[in-house]
Amino acid sequence: MYTETCPHCGANLIEDAWEDITETEDGGIEIDAYPALICEEKCGYMKRIELVPEVIAQQGEDRLLLAYPNQEGRIFDVGEALLHPPVHVEELTALENWEDYTGNHDIEKLLEIARDIRVADIDTPNLFEFATSELSQDAFLCWFMSWSEKPYRSLDRSLHEAAIDFLAVIFNRHNIPVPDIKSIKIKRQFKELDILAIINDTYAVLIEDKTNTKNHSNQLVRYRKAVEKAFPELIQLPIYYKIADQSHYRSVEKACYVPFKRRMMLEVLKRGKANGVKNPIFLDYYRHLQKLEDSIAAFRKKPITTWGANQWQGFYQEVQKHIDGGWGKVSNPRKGFWGFWCSSLRNGWYLQLEQDKLCIKIKIEGEANKRARRQAAMKEVLRESNEQNLKLQKPARLGNGKTMTIAQRKDYIQTNEEGIIDLKRTIEELKRY
């Protein structure tokens, strides 16, 4: 007997029947009739009643075989309240030894507390998997910093302390002790700056938030000047907040901004979680950043044939620790690639990694004798390769632009038997060039 109330108008819901009628391709009709809960006041609310499955067999007292409509079967472990994935009931009865059911379990109540075993293998829905824009991240940072004001301490002490910790890292990165936060005024898109937080009417925290983009067009300097003009009395603490990675931060630091990178934020969030923060928005953001961090670090344990953009970025960051150079996305008509290029040039040549391909490139300014210079450089590079066993080969196709590939190698990444990178050997191999 159902005693639920209508979530729309509060009236009682009564058990009734409902039909869905659909037209088939040949002009006929199909009728799907099923029990449903209907609002007694006929406000329009209705909900299909999920039929309670029948127990048709058992294995001992704690393992039951449930039969659902359309010949669907599921195994239910009573002791662990664990519900296994649906399978055709005949497959289950054929594969396992079942006994006739002799119990008297209240299946409806047991299923109310059951856990679906499939949940263990999937991520729960995360707000930030859908809110991916920089504006969404701006909103989180504004919301998070707002919790630093003292009155909110009584509402959620752990979240308040985590917000203070975040601001403390910002202040400390500017060699200033974090003050007692008596007031915080947050402005979004102030003169195109992502976030301006004015603390205690004394400090201006400037946050330029980037996800997968970089600073450009002298924008960082412009923002500082705009804030200085509007609030000349405030002490500026500029932050370049970046959850993705980029090759370097020279222009950021030149503009007197302090990079606040993903791993720094993860440390703040980890401390907050360890300190007892239970807020779902906070925890979703923490899981979102940790998932990104894990994906980038996965180049160490995934076969290189399965690497995506994040794994190539993680690999190039490791290469950059040992070889002077930069990395980034290289666009071309074939959708582009993630590349790493050495800073040093020798005879106009330089090394460039184009994911799983190592290239020796030459840069030629001007048009005079371009083909002859390319051929001479290629000949010399291949001669050195033969002498030093560098395993370089002539490219299948020669270009004719300002930069051209004159030799290449496709097996420079050293791996183990499982196709997973041997990082030490790979770095040693790259240093030979």
Whether residue 3 is predicted with pLDDT greater than 80 in this model: the reply is: no
Round to whole Å and give the CA distance between 136 and 157. 25
How much of the chain, in percent, has pLDDT values that exceed 70?
96
> Taking the complete model, does pTM exceed 0.85, yes or no?
no
Which of 11-20, 190-199, 397-406 is most confident?
Answer: 190-199
The proportion of the chain whose per-residue pLDDT surpasses 90, expressed as a percent, equals 70
Cite the beta strand spans of 264-348 per DSSP E. 325-330, 337-342
pLDDT of residue 121: 64
Separation of alpha carbons 431 and 271, rounded Å: 39
Highest average pLDDT, of 6-10, 75-79, 140-144, 244-248, comes from 140-144
Q: Say what the pLDDT of residue 118 is.
A: 80
pLDDT for residue 33: 81
Tokens of 264: 């720094």
Is residue 209 within 8 A of residue 197, CB to CB? The reply is: no
Pick the residue with more confidence: 188 or 3? 188
Average pLDDT over residues 125-143: 93
Task: Answer left, alpha or beta for residue 285, where phi above 0 means left and psi between -120 and 50 means alpha.
Answer: alpha
For the ranges 117-131, 156-170, 313-327, the lowest mean pLDDT is seen at: 117-131
In terms of residues, how long is the chain?
Answer: 433
Q: Would you state the pLDDT for residue 18?
A: 82
Per-residue CA distances from 162 to 17, 144, 175, 282 (Å) = 53, 8, 20, 10
pLDDT in tens, 364-414: 777 667 888 888 889 999 999 999 999 999 988 877 777 889 999 999 999
pLDDT tens per residue across span 106-119:
998 999 888 888 87
Q: Is the pLDDT score of 1 beyond 50?
A: no
Task: Give the C-alpha separation, 331 to 113, whole Å.
Answer: 52
Token duo for residue 337: 């690639």
Model confidence at 334, pLDDT cuts 50, 70, 90, reads confident
Kindly report the number of other CB atoms within 10 A of residue 351's CB atom. 20
pLDDT averaged over every residue in the chain = 91
